[in-house]
Structure 1
């Protein structure tokens, strides 16, 4: 029994770390622009395909330097996807900043479809095997069996989240981003480069999403052009659960959502005698979304926004 609990805890931590990385991209964009970027799930998908392409290009030339090749492909892929995110913001979102909130949201849906279709044309619509970026060894812990892939994913995700937290809260760039988040008009009056801060957000968000895509594909060993749709929606649910616009909330929401999924898929089959199986795991995620929107729309760590607050931010 203890071994099963340990194994399920590590399953939840692994999946939660991936959800948290992707949720951070949603929450950062919303925190600055009050916009839901529905193309963010495709940044997750592009990360896996960019890393796969990088491995295909680098592996033949660098021979036995396996760890170096993997690290280089990882960082090259996330940087490329970060650049794609900045380009998308300039082309598809920046011209619509003065429009209603609906316009950039619809634009993001269009970008999502364009990216999915482009990858299907270039790489084919069929699923493809993806190599693990970590050694796959089994470790026995308190009667449970965990893998070095899980440990590697958790450590990599935690390091990325700590790096983001340090950047936002302890650097000059983070101060500029937080100032733009409070009020773009006031930040501009103070001489802050608002466009530069927004570009930084659209670089960091896709970087984290791409990292999540690489870790996800390493864990499951597969990638598809549509993989960002369901996982992206789950990460969006995690951001809502933790509190959209809150970086700690996105992290907490990712781990909580994964814990709910894993607990549901582990417990319900036993309780219902197999009538409800693990195939219902997506139902749990979206049931959580509905419950949060009904009972606590601001999320666990989110701050309720009053009409007076919104007027204050608009005018000052």
Structure 2
């Protein structure tokens, strides 16, 4: 067993970094909405799912001739990211307007918003299962669709004997750039100051001229955009999309947000990477079929022994 761990440590670590970066991007949506509204947006997993379909729509329209490289690959990635961010971000804003804002205006209890989130999640899943996939991608009853290969999986370099492939480099660097950009936007811009002020004290923020509705919309927009990028990267890596693709991954992303410290943007990054690594390392000992169990056990353990997560600092306590 130990010998297997040593032999598989390099590839498992690399795979954990790749999938962990996708978890982290999705976790950003959970952590931002919770930091501002104290709401667990369980429909966020379907916002991620919409991002995967946005990637497939664009690739289907463009008619990808084969794997790309160089400037062609960069241009295609930019197009995919823009389309997925627009569609996922717009869907997240629409979700806030239709499912959450009416409840917020009526000062409804948080349980009502939570039920609304679950209902929206199921609705979006069934919408894509019954309408989008049968009409666009195949016969009625089909629940998934293949994504054409975007980049060749050539070995770029090796790290301690572990080959690092092109798709892994693209995914990790793209995710890292997007997460750093979001962190800097929240930390250094006027929009970010508005988000942090609203998270700290909504009443005081209103007195200082902050439009709460605008800030909430921007929070959903940014979180949805990050989920859209995650959807593109997921489709590129696993080359498949499905109407229920966000269910398990969404719970894992929520686990990552809790692990890092929900409400903490940098905690989402740390939690996603940590979850991806532990999940892959655990699969060496217990088998890949236990990956989901490992992730959910981590969630339970964190909630029991350190509910504030690794970093523990919430967006509400961040300095303005």
Which of 262, 272, 293 matches 1:244? 262
Point out where structure 2 has 5 or more consecutive residues left out of the alignment: 135-141
Q: Find out whether 1:107 has 2:116 as its counterpart.
A: yes
Query: Which is worse superposed, 179-188 or 156-165?
Result: 179-188
Q: Find out whether 1:160 has 2:171 as its counterpart.
A: no
Which of 54, 58, 61 matches 2:62? 58
Counterparts of residues 7-22 of structure 1 (less than 5 Å): 7-22=11-26
Secondary structure, counterpart of 1:23 in structure 2: helix
Quote how far apart the aligned CAs of 1:167 are: 0.4
Which of 128, 137, 145 matches 2:154? 137
Quote how far apart the aligned CAs of 1:84 are: 1.1
Q: Find out whether 1:128 has 2:145 as its counterpart.
A: yes
Q: Show the counterpart of 1:262.
A: 280
Contact 2:146 2:241 in 1 (8 A): yes
Q: Show the counterpart of 2:227.
A: 209
Quote the Cα distance in structure 2 between the aligned partners of 1:301 and 1:295.
14
Quote the Cα distance in structure 1 between the aligned partners of 2:313 and 2:81.
35
Quote the Cα distance in structure 2 between the aligned partners of 1:60 and 1:160.
25
Query: Which is worse superposed, 163-172 or 136-145?
Result: 136-145
Contact 2:157 2:163 in 1 (8 A): yes
Quote how far apart the aligned CAs of 1:55 are: 1.9
Quote the Cα distance in structure 1 between the aligned partners of 2:193 and 2:156.
42
Contact 1:35 1:101 in 2 (8 A): yes
Quote how far apart the aligned CAs of 1:230 are: 0.1
Distance change in 2, residues 1:214/1:156 (3 Å): same
Secondary structure, counterpart of 2:63 in structure 1: helix
Contact 1:89 1:199 in 2 (8 A): yes
Q: Show the counterpart of 2:138.
A: none
Secondary structure, counterpart of 2:39 in structure 1: coil
Distance change in 2, residues 1:159/1:54 (3 Å): same
Counterparts of residues 145-294 of structure 1 (less than 5 Å): 145-266=163-284, 268=285, 276-294=286-304
Alignment RMSD: 2.2
Quote how far apart the aligned CAs of 1:79 are: 1.1
What TM-score do the two structures reach when normalised by structure 2? 0.87
Q: Find out whether 1:96 has 2:103 as its counterpart.
A: yes
Secondary structure, counterpart of 1:223 in structure 2: strand
